[in-house]
Structure 1
Amino acid sequence: MNHPRKPPEQRLFDPKTFEDETTWKTLNTHDPGIFKDGENYYSFSTDAMYREEERPPFRGGVQVRRSKDLVDWEWIGHAFDGVPKQAKEWTGADGLWAPDVIKVNDTYLLYYCASRFGTRQSFIGAASARSPEGPWTDLGEIMKTAEGDDLEVNAIDPNVLFDREGRLWMVYGSFFGGIYILELDRQTGKPLAGGTGTLLARRDRNIRDGAIEGPYIVYHPQHDYYYLFVSYDSLFSNYNVRAARSRSITGPYTDYLDQPMTDTQHAEPSRIGVKLLGGYRFGTGAGWLAPGHNSVLEDNGVYYMVHHAREENNKSCFHLHVREMSWTKEGWPLVSPERYAGEPPRIISPSEIAGNWEWIIHDPDTDSIVEAIPNSLLADGSLSGPAEGQSWRNVDQEIIELRLSYPWFGGETCKLMSCRGSIQPAWDWEMERTTLVYSGLTENGIAVWGKKISSLEAY
C-alpha cells in the first residue's frame, strides 16, 4: 500500500527557536505566497514573528523559504534589507506584508506591500530579479492609497497572475472597499491604466468592518473557471478561507448557491462564499486557529493550498500549512483535512473505509474552532449514532456519498445532510501515524472533513 512517509519533525511552540531564523522552518510564516521554480518550491511571506515584549523588533524585508517537497522547509533569508525607500516613506512601516512572485519571460517579479495597520495608508511595490533567491532590484510604486483620499480600496495583499489569454493581472485589497483587479503591463509589471480596477468582492462595512482580504485567483483549465479565494474575519481569531468562481477573470464571482461575492444586501453575510477551511480541532488535542490568507500552487496538474494557521494554545505562534486540494466533478475545490506529507494518491477499498471516524463540518455561521464529532462507518453501509437514515456508500471508485446527521447552521436541531467527496491516505499529524481522510461538499455547498481514527475492533 502507498502510505505517506513520516514527515520531518516540526516543533510547535518552542521559545528556543524564536531568536534563530535559520531554525524557523514553518514557524513564523504569515500570509504565505507560493512559487515553484525548477525543482524548488519557494514561500515568500509577511515580516512577522512571535516575540515577547522584551525582545527587539523583527527585521523587515520579506521572509523567504525553500523546499524540495513541500514538506521540509529551509530558511533562505530576506528578499530586502529592510523596507524599500518609497514604501517606508509613504507608510512608515517596519516590515512588508503579503508578497507574491511571478515569472514574466526571464524576469522574476516580487510584489510586496506596506501599510499602517488598520488604515488605508498603504503601498504596493514591486522588485525584479534573475533568480527567485535574488538579489532583488526595487522597481518602486505599483499603486498606493491614503487615509482621507476619495478611493475605497486599500492597496495591500497583491496577487499577480496570467489569464487564459496570457494577459497579466493583479488582484488586491483588504477590508474597506473590498477586493479589486486591474490589468498590468507585461513589459513593466505596472498598471496599464489609472484607477483601481474592477470590484470582485466586498462585505458590508457593518460586518466586522467589511472583513475580507488576502485575495488569490487560480485558473483551472479542465473546469474552465477562475477561482477567487479570500479570507474572512479577523486574522487573530476567526480567519477562514472562502471560494467563488467565474468564467471571466474580472467576474462576476459567485459561490455554490450562485450568490455574488459583491452582494452586501440580500444574502446572509456569513454564508456568502464556500467556506473551505476554518479553525478546527480533531480529537482531544490542541487544534488550529484562524487559518487563512492562502495562496494556491498548481504543480503538474495537482493543486495545493498554502496558508498560515495559529496554534490554539498560543495564538501568537503561527505556521506554514500546505494541503493537497481536490475538485468535485462539478468543479468546486476541496482541501485535505490534514497537512501534506508527500502521500501518493490511490484508490481506497471499501474494506479500508469501515472504522471509527471523526467529522468536522465547516459551518459558515461558526466563528470559533469547530470540534470534531465521532461517528463510525460500519461495514454494512450504515453509520453509528442515534439519528436514523445515516449511511455511506461508494458511488464509484473515487466518490463516497455520506448521509450524516449534524446540528445545521449552529442550530439545536440535527438535520440529515447529503455529502459527496473522496477518501485518500494521509499523515495524521495529531496522532503521528498514517490514516485515511475524507473531504467533500454537501448539497448546500458546506465543506465536510473526516478522519479515520481506528478500526471498528479498536473502538
Structure 2
Amino acid sequence: MIFPKEPIKYDLYDQLIAAQEELWTIHNVHDPALIKDGDTYYVFSTDAMVGGELSGGIQVRKSKDLIEWQWVGHAFEHIPEEAFAWTGAKGLWAPDVTKYGDTYYLYYAASQFGKNQSFIGVATSKHIEGPWTDQGEVFKTEHGKDKPNAIDPNITFDQDGTPWMVYGSFFGGIYLSKIDPATGKLAEQNEGKLIARRHHSVEAAVEGPYILYHPELKKYYLFVSYDSLFNTYNIRVAKADHIEGPYLDFDGNVMTNIEIEPNETGMKVLGGYKFGQAEGWIGPGHNSVLKDGDQYFICHHARGERTKKHHALHIRRILWTEDGWPLVSPERYAGEIEQSIDPVAIAGTWECILFDKHENNQIRSSLFELLPDGKIASEENGYWKYVNYNLFELFISGTFGKQNIIVLPAWNWSSWKSTLVFTGKNENGYVIIAKKVNKRMKE
C-alpha cells in the first residue's frame, strides 16, 4: 500500500501569528470556496478571525497540492459601497468564484448576524488574484419583508453548461435562480425556486448550500449545513435528477419537507467528532466541493475542540458509494489515493464513529477489534469481509448495523503517523467513519 508522506504541520492555536495575516495558512478560514485555476488551488473565504478587528474584504489563499497553503491577501480593501449601504456589514461573507469565458466572477454576501437585510453582489477580474472590479447587486433581501436571505451564494453549472446560483440561509430556506453568463447576474429578477428548508422549531437552521453535478452518475448533489455554526454544525446531502430538484435524501425525503422531524431530512455525511482521547473537531460545515479530474474534494471549516473559537480550513477526499452517494474521509487530505487494499491489513483495532443524524453535538468514537478470521471481538454475530478493491462489508450489532465501507491509506493528523481509515454507510443511510489504531484492545 502507498501511504501519504508526512505533511506540513500547522498549529491552529498559534497566538504569535494572530495579527499577522501573511502567516495565516489554514488559520481563520470560515465558509471556504475552493476552485482550481491552472495548476493552482485557491480558497476564498469569509472575513473572520479570532480576536482583533476585521480588515479588507474576502480572504484569499492558494496552494499547489491542497496541503500547504499560502496567504494571498484580500479581494477588496473595503466593503463595496452598494453592499455596505444596504446592510451596514462590517465584513463580507461566504464568497464563491467561477469563470464565464475569460472572466472570473467573485460572488460575495453582506449581512448582519440574525437578520436577512442582506445583499449578494458580484465582482469581475481577468485574473483570479485580482484586482477585482465590483459590479454591484445580484440579489438583495429586506428584513421583515422578504422570505429568503440573500447570503451564501454558490454558482453551479447544469449538464448543459447553464449557470445557476443557489443561495439562502435561516429564514426562508435555500433557493435556486438561473444566471445570465453575459452579466453574471440573475436571468430573472426574483427569489427563484425553493429547494430546501427546515422547520421554525429549529429556527429554520439550514444554510451554506452547494450544488455539484456528477457527469458519470448524471445526478445533482445538494450539500447544506444544519444547525449552529458555533457547536452543532453538520453537513447533509441530497440528490436530484434535475438541477431544480426535487432533492431527495437517502430515505426519499424531499428537502423541503417540514412535516417530519427536522433532523430526518438530509443524509448526514460529517459532524463534530472525537477519535479516542485525541482532540476532536467541532461544527464542521459550510462546504464547497471540487471536481479535480476524476477526484472529488470537499472543502469546509471546522472549530478546534480546545476553544471552539479557532476555525480552520479542512480539505478531505470524497469517496463514492456503489449506489451513488458521496462519503467524506475521516482525515484531512495529505495526498492519499484510492487503491486496492490487502484484506490482511484490515485486522486490528479501530476507532469508529456513527453519525447519528439526531445527535449533532460532538460524537465520540467506540473501539472495535477486527480479528484476522473475519470476526469482530466481543461481537457474537459481528463480521467483516473483503468485497473488492478497497470495498469491504462490515456488520456490528446495534445501531451500527451492516455497512459497506471504503478503506483508504491516510495520514493520522492527531497521532502524526500514517494509518488506514474508512468511511461507509449502513442500510439505514447512517454514515460511519473510522481509523485504525496501532494497539490491541485489552482483554
> What TM-score do the two structures reach when normalised by structure 1?
0.95
Letter in 2 for 1:137: T
2:229 counterpart residue number: 235
Q: Take 1:394 and 1:139, find their aligned partners in 2: how far apart are those partners?
A: 55
Contact kept in structure 2, 1:108 and 1:132, CA below 8 Å: yes
Residue 334 of structure 1: how far off its partner (Å): 0.2
Q: Does residue 15 of structure 2 align to residue 15 of structure 1?
A: yes
Aligned to 2:166: 171
Structure 2 residue corresponding to 1:310, chosen from 294, 303, 312 = 303
CA distance in 2, matches of 1:18, 1:180: 36
2:420 and 2:435 in contact (8 A); partners too: yes
CA distance in 2, matches of 1:38, 1:415: 45
Q: What secondary structure is seen at the aligned counterpart in 2 of 1:206?
A: helix
Q: Matches of 2:386 and 2:9 in 1, distance apart?
A: 35
CA distance in 2, matches of 1:445, 1:344: 25
Equivalence for 1:393: 385
**Equivalent-residue separation in structure 2 for 1:194 and 1:144 (angstroms):** 10
Structure 2 unaligned runs (5+)?
A: none
Alpha-carbon spacing, 1:11–1:416, altered in 2? closer, same or farther (3 Å): closer
Secondary structure of 1:270's counterpart equals coil
Match of 1:161 in 2: 156
2-structure distance, mates of 1:416, 1:37: 41
Q: Distance in 2 between matches of 1:178 and 1:334?
A: 24
Q: Distance in 2 between matches of 1:2 and 1:401?
A: 22
> What SS does the aligned partner of 1:368 have?
coil
Does structure 1 retain, via aligned residues, the 8 Å contact 2:339–2:390?
no
CA distance in 2, matches of 1:375, 1:38: 44
Unaligned runs of 5+ in 1: 406-413
**Residues in 2 aligned to 1:79 and 1:18: alpha-carbon distance in whole angstroms:** 20
Residue 41 of structure 2 corresponds to which residue in structure 1?
Answer: 41
Shift of 1:148: 2.1
**Pairing 1:188-337 to 2, within 5 Å after superposition:** 188-207=183-202, 209-265=203-259, 267-337=260-330
- What is aligned with 2:94? 98
Q: Deviations over 1:398-436 (max 9, x none)?
A: 31111013xxxxxxxx44611102101000001000000
1:359 corresponds to which of 344, 352, 355: 352
Runs of 4+ in 1 over 4 A off after TM superposition: 455-459
Structure 1 residues 73 and 192, CA gap change in structure 2 (3 angstroms): same
Rounded to whole Å, the distance in 1 between the matches of 2:155 and 2:392 is: 36
Whole-angstrom CA distance in 2 between matches of 1:78 and 1:382: 54
Deviations 1:146-169 (A, max 9, x none): 1122x2100000000111011110
Range with greater deviation from structure 2 (419-428 or 391-400): 391-400
CA distance in 1, matches of 2:441, 2:136: 63
Q: Does 1:144 align with 2:140?
A: yes
Partners of 1:38 and 1:16 in 2: CA distance: 33
> Is the contact made by 1:111 and 1:124 (CA closer than 8 Å) also made in structure 2?
yes
| Counterpart selection for 1:182 from 177, 181, 186 | 177
Question: Across the two proteins, how many residue pairs are aligned to each other?
Answer: 443
1:369-405 CA-to-partner distances (Å, cap 9, x unmatched) read 11011001100101112x4211110122231111013
Give 1:344 shift: 2.5
What is the rounded CA distance, in whole Å, between the counterparts of 1:76 and 1:397 in structure 2? 40
- What is aligned with 2:4? 4
Matches of 2:399 and 2:119, distance apart in 1: 48
Percent identical pairs in the alignment equals: 49
What code does the residue aligned with 1:432 have?
W
Q: CA RMSD in A?
A: 1.2
Q: Deviations over 1:61-92 (max 9, x none)?
A: 10000000000000000000121010011100
Distance 1:273 1:415, change over 3 A: closer
Give the Cα–Cα distance (whole angstroms) in 2 for the partners of residues 421 and 132 of structure 1: 38
**Where does residue 429 of structure 1 map in the other structure?**
413
Indicate how the Cα distance of structure 1 residues 121 and 393 shifts in structure 2: closer, same or farther if over 3 A, else same. Answer: same
Partners of 1:354 and 1:455 within 8 A in 2: no
Residue 453 of structure 1 is matched in structure 2 by 437
Deviations along 1:286-340, whole A, 9 cap, x unmatched? 1100000000000001000000000011111000000000110110000000000
Q: Which amino acid aligns with 2:24?
A: W
Change (3 A) 1:289 1:415: closer
Q: Report deviation, 1:268.
A: 2.3
**Equivalent residue, structure 2, for 1:441:** 425
2:76 pairs with 77, 80, 83, which one?
Answer: 80
Distance 1:28 1:183 in 2: 32
TM-score by length of structure 2 reads 0.98
Measured against aligned partners, the alpha-carbon deviations of 1:322-361 in whole angstroms (never above 9, x if no partner) come to 0000110110000000000012322110111111111010
Q: Which amino acid aligns with 1:429?
A: W
